Amino acid sequence: MIVTKDTIIGDVVMQDEGIAPILMASGLHCLGCAMASGETIEEACMVHGMDCDALVEEINNYFQSLG
């Protein structure tokens, strides 16, 4: 899976629940929130004042490490 800023958080978590610790560690503690199922990574980062590019890179590195 290739993740972009426009990827829906819920889609990423459904693809691989192993991504949850990365999201939680980065400050996105809202995985159970109703908004998470339809919110893009960029939208969540804006709300939480986070560096979206860094988070997208970390998520993609995780998926690449799975082979």
What is this structure's pTM? 0.87
Phi, psi of 37, deg, nearest 5:
-70, -25
CA Rg value for the chain: 11
pLDDT higher than 70, residue 58: yes
Summarised one tens digit per residue, pLDDT across range 11-44 is: 998 899 899 899 889 888 767 676 667 899 999 9
DSSP reduced 3-state for 21: helix
Q: Tell me which of 24 and 52 has the higher pLDDT.
A: 52
* Residue 56 tokens, joined: 């997208």
In sequence order, the 6+-apart residues with CB closer than 8 A to the CB of 38 are 8, 10
Domain ranges of the chain: 9-65
